[in-house]
Amino acid sequence: MIKKINHIGIAVKNLGLSSDVFSKLFEQSKPHTEVVPEQKATIAFYPVGESSIELIESTSNDSAISKFIEKRGEGIHHICLEVDDIKAEIVRLKNHEFQFVNDVPTAGGDGYWVVFLHPKSTNGVLIELCEKMK
24, pLDDT greater than 90 = yes
- Contact partners, residue 74, CB within 8 Å, separation at least 6: 10, 11, 12, 13, 18
Once rounded to an integer, what is the mean pLDDT over residues 43-64?
96
Which domains, ranges and CATH numbers included, belong to the chain?
2-132 (3.10.180.10)
The answer to whether 52 and 45 have CB atoms below 8 angstroms apart is: yes
105, pLDDT greater than 90 = yes
132, pLDDT greater than 90 = yes
- Model's pTM, two decimal places? 0.94
What's the confidence (pLDDT) of residue 29?
83
Q: What type of residue is 56? A: I
> d(Cα 2, Cα 16) in Å, to the nearest integer?
32
DSSP 51-68: EEEEEEEESSTTSHHHHH
